A = this chain, B = another copy of it.
């Protein structure tokens, strides 16, 4: 699978390195308005530096990785779809649901594969929970709890253009809730506060939030987010079912435990998403390669991207109005 990479920033470089090391993929070209970034990726992987249009048009490119700023995603997806390329796009497709729908329409019309970068589905522990839930190990799912906290807030400049905490950060958790509930949430309650940094409020956003979701059959999910956790990148999930519970927790740099008169101590949680989800990014690429080359399902796809966004929109509204928001199924 010959890949063209659009966007050589932080996440683009992760994908570039994984593609370069993959047995069935090859990075052939990279584009970025910041030429130095593009050249750095090219130098490390053997890819050529090109313009985005040239990459979309290149006959020796089978698949496009879109790792550019969010507001360019939808147009680039459409361009890649018209060029009949398979597409991997970082989340979200767009911050606007209507725009997302027209984009997905273009993808459907072109008949190309689109996969969306909800990397957490590929975390080995979370994926194991899903498989074990699906295998019936805990019976019927009843209560899902997702605790998701960033080590530190992003720059306020980023937050101002992010679409807000629910669309930028909790969207991952909405996808995970859908992934693990096995049923579409129909009701959304949200509360939110700005407790970490008043500049975030000044930028119109919140930094601490919690959501309740309920599905038509009565399954309940609770999600909480904070933009700051002193103890690392806190990523925990547990699913309570009729026969038991499955839970997955944080990872640490070492297994070392220290004991002293002050008690027992262990490492903080891995602090950075690139470390925490290093395996997930590799396995996500495996899934995309298998989708493109072998016809594997290629989930999460565009519809998953849309559904998560609709939940984020609903939560944004509920937090603002205090009302329950119902989603159409």
- Residues of A that sit less than 8 Å from B by CB: 21, 124-125, 128-129, 132, 137-138, 140, 142-143, 145, 147, 149, 187, 189-196, 208-212, 214, 218-220, 222, 224, 226, 228-232, 234, 240, 242-251, 253-269, 322-324
Are A129's CB and B189's CB within 8 A? no
Q: B128, B226, B240: which contacts A254 (Cβ < 8 A)? A: B128
Asked if residues B220 and A194 are in contact (CB atoms below 8 Å), the reply is no
How many copies of the polypeptide does the oligomer hold? 4
CB distance from A123 to the nearest CB of B (A): 9
> Which B residues are in CB contact (< 8 Å) with A137?
258, 260
Query: A224 to B220, Cβ gap below 8 A?
Result: yes
The answer to whether A210 touches B230 (Cβ under 8 A) is no
Subset of 27 A-B contacts with CB under 8 Å: A21-B21, A124-B253, A124-B254, A125-B254, A138-B260, A142-B195, A142-B226, A189-B189, A192-B220, A193-B220, A195-B219, A222-B222, A230-B259, A230-B261, A243-B261, A244-B258, A244-B260, A245-B257, A247-B257, A247-B259, A248-B256, A249-B257, A259-B268, A263-B266, A322-B323, A323-B324, A324-B324
Which residues of B have CB within 8 Å of A190?
A: 212
* A213 CA to B188 CA, complexed, in Å: 15
Decide if A231 touches B256 in the complex (CB within 8 Å). Answer: no
Q: What residues on B are CB-neighbors of A226 within 8 Å? A: 142-143, 240
Task: Tell me if A261 and B231 are in contact (CB < 8 A).
Answer: yes
| Residues of B close to A138: CB separation below 8 A | 258, 260
A209→B231 CA distance, assembly (Å): 29
Q: How far is the CB of A277 from chain B (nearest CB, A)?
A: 13
The answer to whether A260 touches B220, judged by C-beta atoms less than 8 angstroms apart, is no
Is B193 in contact with A219, judged by CB distance below 8 angstroms? yes
Contact A212 B191 (CB under 8 A): yes
Q: CB distance A264 to B258 under 8 Å? A: no
A189 CB contact (under 8 Å) in B212, B230, B248: B212
Residues of B within 8 A of A268 (CB): 259-264
